[in-house]
Structure 1
Amino acid sequence: MGVCLASMAPATALAQNVNGAIAGRANAGDMITVINPETGLTRSVSVGANGSYRLSQLPVGNYTLQVSRDGQAVGQAIDVSVSLGNATTVNLGAEGVVDMAAVQVIGSRVISPVDVSSTESATNITAEEIARMPVDRNVASVALLAPGVAGGSAGFGGISFGGSSVAENAFYINGLNVTDFYNRVGFSEAPFDFYQEFQVKTGGYSVEFGRTTGGVVNALAKSGSNEFHGGGKLVFSPRAWKSSARDSYLDGDRYLTRSRDSTDSARVNLWASGPIVRDRLFFFAMYEGRDISPESTNNGGTSFTRGESDDGFWGATMDWQLNDNNLLSLMAFSNKNRVDNETFAYDFDDNRVGDRLSRSYSENGGDNWALTWTSYLSDNLSMKLMYGNSERDNITASPSDGDCNYVTRASGVPDPGVPLGCTNNATIYDRNDQREQARADFEWAMGDHLLRFGIDRESNTSDLDQVYAGPGGIQYNVYSTTPGAQIPGAGIVPPGYTAYVRARRYSIFGEFESVNEAFYLEDNWSVSDNLVLNLGIRNESFDNRDAEGRTYIEMDDMWAPRLGFSWDVRGDSTTKVFGNIGRYFLPVANVINIKQGGALLDERTYYGFDGWEIRERDGVQYAVPILGTQFGFDNSQGDGSVGDLRAEVDKDMDPVYQDELILGFQQQLNSTWSWGVRGIYRKLNNAIDDMNITATHCGRIASRWVMANPGEDVTVWGDTDCDGVDDGYLTIDTSKAGYWTEADNYEYINGEWEYVGSTPTGQRGWVKPDRTYKALEFQVDRAWDGKWALNASYTLSWNEGNAEGPVNTDTNFGDTGRTENFDDPFVNYRGDGPLANDHRHQIKLRGTYAFNDNWRVGATLDARSGGPITALGVGNPYNWKSYHSYFICVENCTPPENAQDGDTWSTDDRVFEHSPRGGAGRMPWIIDLGLSLAYERTFDAGKLEAKFSVYNVFNRQEPVWVYQELEPGVGDRDEFFGKERFLQSPRYGQLIVSWSF
């Protein structure tokens, strides 16, 4: 009897996140046996009465599949690959032969490029594929290979999936969630050689995954086998192979200095793997030694910082196959790293390094581990239990912290000609984040139904101690301005001042915890041989706690339904139509616990700028600002005490969630070529942010900052009977009320404008947050056949609304969940338009070509149209407050210069024009081409591999972000508006040489 393979494709939605599966249809009663020849793992299952079978929870790897009947082998064994998070489908006929029209054969392995049983959108990339191309050695670079994924544009970095902000993603290693829960922008990462395979999920993913409204990157660490292997690798990227970054100039004056920034980087990796007990216990272990030396100047080119980092990385996995039905796996790594910096005075024109100004150091990373137990309880029921811990340190400090305040100056402020302050360390910062994670996942095959269900719990704790450096814990920031300008949160700049000083005192400490829990249930129903339905439901709960361990934000019973289908149109696995619809929830980052639930002190005192005072320390001169007339003070963000959080947090807060709809088509053209198209619709339905509530039913109240849902009902502790005493909960419809508007009035008396009071103008409400992403993705793929491979995609998208997400790229604000977008009702009023991550066009290419057995070339191209530019103003036609806005003052912006005693002026006299989001044009296209040339040769003793890669071959250094504040103050114009701030990284080269055996 022959074996007929009607399909052999990965079913992403049908497997748990660190394993894979093999499933399909065969003759009822037959026995299906798979063996991993590298580890000896053997699994057998009987085909059910309905003709279906499934071998779940299989470790990723290569297997042989054999059919037997009545104890006798039937046909020839087949080679089958199991990849991360996928189920490989193998349908077996009774008398047929291999259907070559529906499959691709590489060697003896049979692969179908069309996945007829998957309902989600995901890209799998192995370490072997990456080795054939110029892909930089970090997880973000792998994620950027997937369609619809773009790099963040602002200074806080990150990656954006499908129009979401960079603070909405999730990252896993061997099932352990390593996402940064403090700010949600970064994640814990291991060196590239620790990974075996990556899966990038860009939409429609299973209910097993949650706590993200962006994308998921799922990584698998390497493991051992029955054969001993080992090797070493050198990764070399010297500063001589990096082009100089481009400095930025305005009217011939340099305002951003980058050309002296460079890094020397050398990494040496040693690894080994093999059996401890053959067919039972295996190990993989690696150590990476690192020597990294960054150098950089400050923006003005007046100081030069040299760093040194030589901490190593270690990582290991251990897999114990107690028997064929029970597996125990351990993954552990430590990515602790310290960078020591020395800062010197610097003469840019002479390229001369002077006296040392200060020292500082930073520490990050930590220990991470996950222990996983997998058990096959029966032919149809499997279980996976996981417990793990992820740790991240974040420390910055300096020996001069006790003696030196940090000083900055903005553009337009006179240069003192000597360094600012005597330290380059702004903050004494010590934070440790630890995630304790536990989860249980089950799979139960019941005829045409595959039930998947499980629970998971995370306890995320941040232990923080933070204070500004220097005497008094004060930081001095000097800004340019004009007399009479309105400074947000401060007041009117006194006459005669063209610059002002903000003296900010800031401190906070405590231990803050968030607990996230979920359970899920999913039914993968094979309605027929051609139709699969995926029916899932997930229930989430988020519990954020203050510095005393009390719950202050609690959201539960968040139901996330997800429905999907896949239709094998022709029944031969060559053409499919698929789709899904689902809801996804986003937890509140721990930074909110700290800022809202801690004893935060944030005092901002404003002074006129009376010039620079030149001081000397250790023989080195430095400048500090001379404080002039005080004209403002604000501690509304934190007065050093933990307030009554009932009055600062919405009691009935709704979560942030996103709804998503995807429809797609995919077709196999021949044995190697396939193509597909996907339509995507995503809508963000809510936001959580800080809102300045200044009015209730009682009228105007003392200003309070409340974490709540803008544009929705807000329930806080307050004065219910208007007697001046908070005595119960009251509800404010913030779509109509909650903010007291007024105009400030001034009278010209004895040669000066004097404030004479305010005029109430009524209550106003907030607009509701809105973000909509619509896209069409086209993709063509040519599978690797030992000679060449190609993948090309084009994404046409529209990302529009008035809220990017929990961070704000427009204003370069990365403090998650505390953006300025909803501080008052007018920050986002008439603020609809293209959002920061709106890249209308995106083209991606990746491929490789082998000249012969030894030489090959690779290439990657990432080209995307530039993001929108907004001319942000301050102030608005409805209120005197001066937050960012989508209005520009064009008349009567400041008090008249030629005033007479008795003249009056009011902020209500200002005339504004609407400045729409994205109305100032677009940034240029970002085009990044990478090329690589690789050589490999096998000897009796092992294999030699070498690859030289060049990134950003054309050395394009286009701006990825420009200054977007047209008005630094009401009526003022910033000469730097529209000028470049962050650029593409310059061209650089990298050599990798490895020996393995």
Structure 2
Amino acid sequence: MQRSTKRTGALRRSTLCTALALCFASGAVLAQSNASGVVFGRVAQPEGAVIHLQNLDTGLTRDVGVDADGRYRASSLPVGRYKVTVERGGQTVETRDNVQVNLGGGVDVSFAGASTTTAEAQNLEGVQVTGNVLPAIDVSQVDSRTVLTSEQLQKLPLARDVTAAALLAPGVISGDSRYGNVASFGGSSASENQYYINGYSVTNALTGLGFTSLPYDAIDQQQIFTGGYGAEYGRSTGGVINIVSKRGGNTWKGGVGMYIQPNGARQSPRNIYRTNGQLFQNRGGNERSDTQYTAYISGPLIKDKLFFFGAGDFTRTNTTTTSSILAPQRTNQTQKATKWLGKIDWNITDNHLLELTGIGDKTNTERSVYAYNYATRSRGNYLGTDNLKNFDAGAGSAPGGDVYIGKYTGYITDDLTVNALYGHTTTNHERDIGYSGSANCPWITDNRRGIANPITGCGLVNGTVLNAGAKDKTHGWRLDVEYHAGDHDLRAGLDNQTLESTSGQIYEGGYRWVYRNAGRVTGRPDIVPPPGTTYVVEKRLFETGATVKTEQEAQFIEDNWQVTDRWRIYVGLRNEQFKNLNGDGTTYVKQRHQLAPRLGATWDVFGDSTFKIYANAGRYHLAIPSNVAIRGASASTYYSEYYTYGGVGPNGEPTGLTQLGSRAYLNGEDGTTPDPKTVAAKGIDAYYQDEYILGFDKAINENWSFGAKATYRKLKSSIDDFCDSRPFEAYAARNNIDISNASLPGCYLFNPGKSNEFLVDVGGGNYVPFNLRKDDFTSPEGVAFPDLKRSYYSLDLYLEHHFADDWYGRVDYTFSRSYGNSEGQLKSDIGQLDPSVTQDWDAPEIMQYANGPLPNDRTHQLKAYGYWQASQEWLLGGNLAVATGRPKNCIGVDPVDAIQYGASYFECGFQPSPRGSKGRLPYTWNLDLNAEYRPLWAGDRQPLAFTATVFNVVGSQRPVGQIDVGETGTVANGVPVVSDDYRRPIAFQNPRYLRLGVRYDFSL
């Protein structure tokens, strides 16, 4: 958690310690509702005392009783500023003003009463908390979290998006660039996170990659969990980002802003070259400019009762880019992104609250595509248009869409609180391609070596495109009940969500042509080119499309137990159920009773909250993402054919074709729906991970603190597919089972590295169980599947200066290792966008030599950020990030290639090439700086602000990803053909750019 403290008047240390000693004898306060917080504490003289809380912005009031030991607790409070008062007989005794309640946390407000003088009590009244509470060390939490307030988000030099803020947290890194603007938490793949807005999950319904966002200025607080989170959270083995939006108050307020990123102040991106020196992509002439307009307004519709908050962002981005030499094009693109949020808060009574939130996140992209001549470095003829809605051409369907959330909070008694929530999202994805003067433009790829002028087509996308009718829908509800009983804070809840997606892909133009050097095609003995043939061409067709559904249910219970004044124990249990349905609406995987225990403890070593030692352990589950059913459990078609050819047509298509061999259906995808009974192993275990954390936080003084945390994560069970019929054939032969008429799907979902039981239709609907032991997943040559392995361990160290003396700063250093033979749901080695159905585990041979440092491994990370209020008018901020580079591999051809996967093995030159054995990309470092000027001449409240932010000040553009496939997949003269693209960079650090902004805030 990011902490800063403003003080008015002197704060005597002795007074503070007296109050704190009383405070931490009070009841436990751990994870609260994921859209609220809590105030708790102790009153030294409890007789007749009542605690009165008043929200300073909305007027909401709440009275809670004080027990015989002087303890009180007010849970599920909307985040915001509060006035907390002790009353006796209707008279005010003591007051704490401007107490900030933060997201998911506890604010300790205790009253020393007669143990302090009146003057000392007045000093304590001046405490204001921003980012957390006094004292500096929060002993009420056992998890690992960072909380950023809207004030901090404005003061730090950050891109105006949620992911940029999340990257400030220790152990969080950017995911592979091919997956879009997503993050990896603690070594997990980037699809293993959960994202919430106002308590409802807005995670991408299809793949888990990304989320529906909101206007940046609508964020009140952003909470980033990097581990140890409680039983209320599930469906994540990475991290959790939880956002609470702003709400209206009793004063009408508004603001407008504009932010521009001019192309003239942007550094040119680096050109991309192959390792042989050939220019692969000319990026020197790329251009980009951004303009964003923002506005918000909030206030009372009925004072103290009904409030409104509304905000909107409109962003226009113009880019001009040149694609690679493989498909040379020059594209002019205009992207219009509109985000809005509207929120109604109704204080029906002081004990019954209702919130209604609406969010819109829409992106429209219009692309005009031209041919490009690499010889003359000039733009050519107009080729057509490519228009997209809520779709990322690089990373697939973006979440976006519309979100509607309703939440009720009821304070039934002082000890009993009820929270109920319902949410719904809808997202439509569209892609409309229009060609210029050409009826058919298939995807053309020229993989012939040493060709000066590779064959190019008229295609605009040169890859797979979205099928018509794509959309995502979710709906879900949750019910939480909290009860305070003595030293125990009990909580139980239900958490259900259903995800439905219509999606599918097809090659542009219907199919793909790949030109290759003639030679032996591994695994295809029927492909024999005639003598003297120099080149051949492969034709591939790929098409998927279905409407699929995932149903997720969970129940949880937890107890926060204040064992002694210094010891606090958290015990939680989450029970999850997952059900996946295919395109026919039939269940193909059902998982029940996935138990996830959570346990934590904190020790307030000295009893004054200056030194905390904490530990936690937990299990975290993840459902199979919906995208698995699109291809793995629904009808799909994928085949390959080889030809010799006599010429090339105007669209890049070959002419004079003569077929070699026969059509080969890949992975058994022949256009029929797989039998749902045989798609997955029976009783398949859910994807889950165990995590252990031990750490401490220590206050140096009232302004400085430091700490350390050790984390260990181990993936205990994974779900992927394997596409190998040999284990079934061997099992049938061993057990005298006739499978001559069996229906064997091309791929099967299973738990890698374990024994699995499958049902096989051996003919006529006669299902026979095949109990395949782990050793049965062994090739005829004796290559066996290894045990599943993904482990992450880290040591985090931090030093923090809380906001005082006009500045705030924090430094985090993380030493970590993420290693094993499986990244998880994704395969960043090749940028594969198929969560849980990667090419890993498809056959034993492909997992040889796969153990080593994983793609999200960054051994050393240093993060430093902060801001300085240099004067009443000027504020300066900085953000530094340094990290070890990504591991490098050489992926190539296996001498046998029994599964016909070509260049897909951790082997090069027919020799082992273990994962990560080729060194690392260079370390990266990035420095961002900002300045804000608020002139006094604009008014007493300084409503006008001018900002300037420079990202990547030094202009470092080191590679952050490369092509790890070292061979083409063909063999010539008994030697694998080396790929010209091996070690070619795929992404660099963002070039230096400037953002200028102006903002005006007003009150009515």
- Equivalents in 2 of 1:660, 1:880: separation in Å? 36
The reply on whether 1:299 has 2:336 as its aligned counterpart is no
Deviation at 1:690, TM superposition (A): 1.1
Q: Show the counterpart of 1:578.
A: 614
Equivalent in the alignment of 1:562: 598
Answer yes or no: is 1:525 the counterpart of 2:539: no
Counterpart amino acid of 2:614?
Answer: F
**Counterpart in the other structure of 1:345:** 371
Tell me which residue corresponds to 2:443: 406
Q: CA shift at 1:348, angstroms?
A: 4.7
Distance 2:196 2:102 in 1: 16
2:477 paired residue among 409, 420, 438: 438
**Conserved? CA contact 1:732–1:738, under 8 Å:** no
Give me the whole-angstrom Cα distance separating, in 2, the residues matched to 1:332 and 1:316. 5
Aligned residue type for 2:714: K
Cα offset, 1:872, TM superposition: 1.6
Are the aligned partners of 2:908 and 2:966 in contact in 1 as well (CA < 8 Å)?
A: no
Which residue is 1:265 aligned to?
A: 290
Q: Report the Cα offset of residue 92 of structure 1.
A: 2.8
Query: Residue type of the partner of 2:37?
Result: G
Aligned to 2:163, the other structure's residue is in SS state helix
Structure 1 window deviating more from structure 2 (780-789 vs 547-556): it is 780-789
Which one-letter code corresponds to 2:704 in the other structure? W
Matched, 1:448 2:478: no
Q: Secondary structure at the match of 1:646?
A: coil
**What secondary structure, in the 3-state scheme, does the structure 2 residue paired with 1:567 have?**
strand
Report what 2:465 is aligned to: 427
Structure 2: which amino acid aligns with 1:985? N
Matches within 5 A, 1:913-932: 913-932=911-930
Partner of residue 570 from structure 2, selected from 534, 543, 546: 534
Compared with structure 1, are the counterparts of its residues 14 and 818 closer, same or farther at alpha carbon in structure 2 (3 Å cutoff)? closer
Q: Provide the residue aligned with 2:418 in structure 1.
A: 383
Give per-residue Cα distances to partners, 1:665-716, cap 9 Å, x unaligned.
1001111110010000000011111112313321387673111112222222
CA contact (8 A) 1:167 1:807 kept: yes
Which of 935, 938, 944 is the matching residue for 1:937? 935
Task: Pick the aligned partner of 1:993 from 979, 998, 1001.
Answer: 998
Distance 1:107 1:381, change over 3 A: closer
Counterpart CA distance in 2 for 1:451 and 1:259 is 60
How many residues matched?
943
Structure 2 vs 1, CA of residues 584 and 399 (structure 1 numbering), >3 Å: closer, same or farther? same
1:175 aligned onto 2:199:
yes
1:151 and 1:354 mapped to 2: Cα distance?
36
- 2:816, 2:655 → 1: CA distance? 48
Provide the rounded CA distance (Å) in 2 between the counterparts of 1:489 and 1:556: 46
Contact preservation (8 Å) 1:794, 1:843: yes
Equivalent in the alignment of 1:256: 281
Which of the residues 402, 414, 423 maps onto 1:367? 402
Q: Distance in 1 between matches of 2:952 and 2:448?
A: 30
2:263 matched to which residue of 1? 239
Report the TM-score when normalising by structure 1.
0.90
What corresponds to 2:7 in structure 1? none
- Structure 1 pair 486–451 and aligned structure 2 pair: CA distance change class (3 A): same
What amino acid sits opposite 2:240 in the alignment?
V
CA drift at 1:419: 4.6
Change (3 A) 1:876 1:661: farther
Distance 1:281 1:691, change over 3 A: same
Cα distance in 1 for residues equivalent to 2:860 and 2:168: 15
1:440 aligned partner, one-letter code: L
Task: Indicate yes or no: 2:249 matched with 1:225.
Answer: yes
1:105–1:295 distance in 2 versus 1, CA, 3 Å: farther
| In 2, Cα distance between equivalents of 1:494 and 1:780 | 70
Does residue 286 of structure 1 match 2:311?
Answer: yes
> Residues 681, 105 of structure 1: CA spacing in aligned structure 2 closer, same or farther, 3 A cutoff?
farther
Q: Using a 3 Å threshold, how does the CA distance of structure 1 residues 490 and 454 change in structure 2: closer, same or farther? A: farther
The aligned counterpart of 1:208 is: 232
| Residues 727 and 803 of structure 1, relative CA distance in 2, 3 Å threshold | same
Q: CA contact under 8 A between 1:611 and 1:625: conserved in structure 2?
A: yes
In the other structure, the counterpart of 2:877 is 858
2:802 to 783, 787, 798: 783
Aligned AA for 2:424? N
**Structure 1, residues 236-281: CA drift from partner, whole Å, max 9, x if none?**
1122222111012233320123223332211111221100000000
Counterpart Cα distance in 2 of 1:154 and 1:384:
39
Give the letter aligned to residue 84 of structure 1.
Answer: L
1:123 match: secondary structure? strand
CA contact (8 A) 1:540 1:557 kept: yes
The corresponding residue for 1:688 is: 719
Could you say what secondary structure the match of 1:372 adopts? strand
Q: Which ranges of structure 2 fall in alignment gaps of 5 or more residues? A: 1-14, 391-399, 734-738
Q: CA deviation at 1:607?
A: 3.3
What is the CA distance between 1:287 and its match in structure 2?
A: 2.8
Alignment of 1:783-932 (within 5 A): 783-785=802-804, 787-875=806-894, 879=898, 881-882=900-901, 886=905, 888=907, 890=909, 912-932=910-930
Moved more, 796-805 or 626-635: 626-635
Evaluate the alpha carbon distance shift between residue 440 and residue 391 of structure 1 in structure 2; reply closer, same or farther with a 3 A threshold. same
CA contact under 8 A between 1:675 and 1:780: conserved in structure 2?
Answer: yes
2: CA distance, partners of 1:231 / 1:476 = 54
Q: Please identify, of 816-825 and 256-265, the stretch whose mean Cα deviation from structure 2 is larger.
A: 256-265
In the TM superposition, what is the alpha-carbon distance from 1:323 to its structure 2 partner? Answer: 0.9
Q: Which amino acid aligns with 2:186?
A: G
C-alpha separation between the residues in 1 aligned to 2:432 and 2:298?
39
Gaps of 5+ in 1: 616-621, 742-760, 891-911
Matched-pair contact (CA < 8 Å) for 2:502–2:546: yes
What percentage of aligned pairs have identical amino acids?
31
Answer yes or no: is 1:733 the counterpart of 2:772.
yes
Residues 1:255 and 1:790: Cα distance change in structure 2 (over 3 Å)? same
Q: Does the alignment pair 1:112 with 2:135?
A: yes
Corresponding residue of 2:209: 185
The residue matched to 1:13 in structure 2 has which SS? coil
Q: Secondary structure at the match of 1:875?
A: coil
For residue 238 of structure 2, give the secondary structure of its aligned residue in structure 1: coil
SS in structure 2 of the partner of residue 14 of structure 1: coil
Q: 1:764 to 1:851 in 2, by over 3 A?
A: closer
Alignment check: 8 A CA contact 1:524 1:532 kept? yes
Q: SS at 2:862's partner residue?
A: strand
Q: Which residue of structure 1 aligns with residue 397 of structure 2?
A: none
Instruction: Go from structure 1 to structure 2 and tell me whether the alpha carbon gap of 1:889 and 1:119 turns closer, same or farther (over 3 Å shift).
Output: closer
How far does the alpha carbon of each residue in 1:915-946 deviate from its partner, in whole angstroms, 9 at most, with x for none?
Answer: 11111111110111101111113534860111
How far apart are residue 822 of structure 1 and its match?
A: 0.5
Cα deviations by residue, 1:346-377 (Å, 9 ceiling, x for unpaired): 23565533321011111112111101111101
- The alignment's TM-score, normalised by the length of structure 2, stands at 0.89
User: Aligned in 2, Cα 1:564/1:725: closer, same or farther, shift over 3 Å?
Assistant: same
CA–CA distance in 1 between the matches of 2:768 and 2:547? 28
